[in-house]
Amino acid sequence: MKVGLFIPCYVDQFYPQIGIASLELLEKFGCEVSFPMDQTCCGQPMANSGYSHLTGGCDTNFVNNFSEFEYVVCPSGSCTMHVKEHLHSKENEAAATHIRNNVYELTEFLTDILKVESIEGNFPYKVGMHQSCHGQRGLKLSQMSELNAAPFSKPEQLLSKIKG
């Protein structure tokens, strides 16, 4: 399975260990992972600030870097949702559509595509987990807290598979 790993600009600059861990995790589950060295921002900061007309360069670069992959995986719900909903290309809309239809947030990819049933390892610590707004409402990674419905959480589902 050929996977392009998209590391958001904020992860690259502030939390590079998340990018490395994402790569190692995907490889552990048998993915052939590539990290396109020319990747940059998805354009979300500009779009969210009201400057969506300035995202064309980001879109073109994203399509150029990720159109060859079967899947694109990203360890950020916000960036994944932005690509799913806003990536377009005047030069190659077919490639942009392919990417939009095949980009996944990391936990979504592990649960829905790879269907991970077990994770080796031990993590004997208590942690608090933030269910991101884009992950909950946009990507439906977990149940929205304000709805009266059966609870679910793909990130918690994965964490429950680790001993500890």
What is this structure's pTM? 0.87
First to last CA, the chain: 30
Question: For residue 125, is it within any domain?
Answer: no
Question: For residue 25, is it within any domain?
Answer: yes
Question: For residue 63, is it within any domain?
Answer: yes
Question: For residue 136, is it within any domain?
Answer: no
Question: For residue 145, is it within any domain?
Answer: no
The predicted structure's pLDDT at residue 122 = 86
Query: What is the CA angle 36-70-139, rounded to 5?
Result: 90
Question: For residue 62, is it within any domain?
Answer: yes
* Count of structural domains, the chain: 1
Q: Which residue segment(s) compose the domain that 53 sits in?
A: 2-113
Confidence grade of residue 2 (pLDDT, cut at 50, 70, 90): very high
Question: For residue 15, is it within any domain?
Answer: yes
Question: For residue 121, is it within any domain?
Answer: no
